[in-house]
Amino acid sequence: MNKAKVIEESGKLEGAKELSADIFGVAYDDRFINEALKEYLRKNFTGSAKTKGEVRGGGKKPYRQKGTGNARQGSTRTPLKPGGGITFGPRPRVKINKLSKKKKAAALRQALSRLNNEEKIYFAQSLGFKKTCDAAKFLNQNFKKGSKIIIVTEKQDREFALPFRNIRNVSLECAADLNMRKLIYCDAVLFVGAALEGVKA
């Protein structure tokens, strides 16, 4: 069933809201989701080892070219010497996300569909809390303590977000910025107002 549980501002569950089958009713593919999650979690590599040209010092030739019996050396910062540069050491690499727009949208649809199948999608027409204690009381009525909850709004609203910002494990997202990585580990998603129509999937 593609329906979201409707929560009134008082915290009571009142009926259900129909959800789009194109977004909340698609098949879930574990292999595809794992592939997409790996791309989302891929990070830029910042490790860097200095080459002989980047190590400080070594400008003077350590000894003369001939007559010492040693192998010829032009610098004390050669990779062959202690304290010298590193040959083929790690260098910074920028993350390249291989997921296309179509794959990102497909992953978002599958994540939302999985939450829907597990009955973890909720809807509230409007929420107008002014105090954190009121917002926390509202959440505690329908969600277990410590649950990771994502509240999705149509657009950023500072006044709306203030009561929720100090509640642990609660995060606020705009519908247009929602993606699979943000949804995969959450316990419930609460859409507020026109946020359902703003999901880009």
DSSP of 3-66, one letter per residue? EEEEE-TTS-EEEEEE--HHHHS----HHHHHHHHHHHH---B------TTTSS---S-SS-SS
What ranges do the domains of the chain cover? 3-43+98-198, 44-94
| 167 DSSP 8-state letter | S
Which of the two residues, 200 and 5, has the higher pLDDT score?
5
Non-local CB neighbours of 193 within 8 Å, separated by 6+ positions: 124, 125, 126, 153, 154
Entry pTM = 0.75
Residue pair 190/160 in contact by the 8 Å Cβ criterion: no
Share of the chain above pLDDT 70, in %: 100
CATH architecture observed for domain 3-43+98-198 = 3-Layer(aba) Sandwich (3.40)
What confidence score (pLDDT) does residue 97 get?
76
Q: Which of 35, 33, 197, 189 is closest to 118 using CA atoms? A: 189
Alpha-carbon torsion 114, 128, 16, 166, what sign?
positive
Q: Is the pLDDT confidence value at 93 over 80? A: yes
pLDDT band at 66 (very low <50, low <70, confident <90, very high): very high
